[in-house]
Amino acid sequence: MLFTIDVGNTNIVLGIYDKDELKFSYRMATDRTKSSDEIGFFFLQILQNAGINPSQIEDAVISSVVPPVMHSLENAVRKYFKKEPIVISSSTPLGMEILIDNPKELGADRIVNAIAAYELYGGPAIVIDFGTATTFCVINEDGNYLGGAIYPGLKISIDALVERTAKLPRIEITKPENVIGKNTVNSMQSGIVYGYVGMVDFIVKKMTKELGADDLKVIATGGLSTLISEESETITHIDRDLTLKGLKIIYEKYLK
């Protein structure tokens, strides 16, 4: 079995693959203060609940955008699974050219998403990851990474709005019944959800024009991908497990 781990700023997403089957996935909060033992015991508990023996884990592959977590996380894998974790970075040989000014700046999650999108859906493609930040990644018809865009995530946007205003309450991020809100909560929900949809569609259309592509695939992933995709005119696929799939693809194709 393959243990896949995607470390984001808000959540760590875990997945266990048995050959081609994703047995389960699990989200835990990213906590920079946890020790390797705390992380290791948590991993063991998850596996126990799923009826999986730690000895069944053959390898562990990790993508991360949170360096402070990595020391404890890697040591947890070594101590509790007796495996040397494989950590994906821009220097990992993956057969994909990163055609940006400084490839070392590119986050591992964006690399993994790009590989997964091209392998599963083909190119040209745009991957939109609705995480702590919302990222757009553009892959050409040859599977090479062209660049992208970064925008504040939905939760960050709400947090900033609430923290910088005196009377606006913290709200649930959900689609309101009407665009024209009749109260403060619905007005905020309308602004954040429909405003975000408008942003996504505008950027995708501009990117599509720059690429000159007619058969562009637009893949949405991340925790809030379904919410935005329901109203978007440009998103063609929703794949919430894209990063975990990408880690498995990279392991099988390039690292095994």
Query: What is the CATH architecture assignment of 123-241?
Result: 2-Layer Sandwich (3.30)
Kindly give the confidence (pLDDT) of every residue in the chain, 256 residues in length, as a single tens digit, with 9 standing for 90 and above. Answer: 999 999 999 999 999 999 999 998 999 999 999 999 999 999 999 999 889 999 999 999 999 999 999 999 999 999 999 999 999 988 888 889 999 999 999 999 999 999 999 999 999 999 999 999 999 999 999 999 999 999 999 999 999 999 999 999 999 999 999 999 999 999 999 999 999 999 999 999 999 999 998 889 999 998 889 999 999 999 999 999 999 999 999 999 888 7
> Could you tell me the pTM of the whole model?
0.92
Active-site hit among 18, 20, 37, 109: 109
Catalytic residue status for 129: no
Return the SS3 of 220: strand
The pair of structure tokens assigned to 224 is: 């809030």
Backbone φ/ψ region at 155: left (φ over 0), alpha (ψ -120 to 50), beta: alpha
Which CATH code for domain 2-87? 3.30.420.40
Domain with CATH 3.30.420.40 in the chain: 2-87, 123-241
Show the tokens assigned to 205: 């259309």
SS3 3: strand
Q: Which residue type does 61 have?
A: V
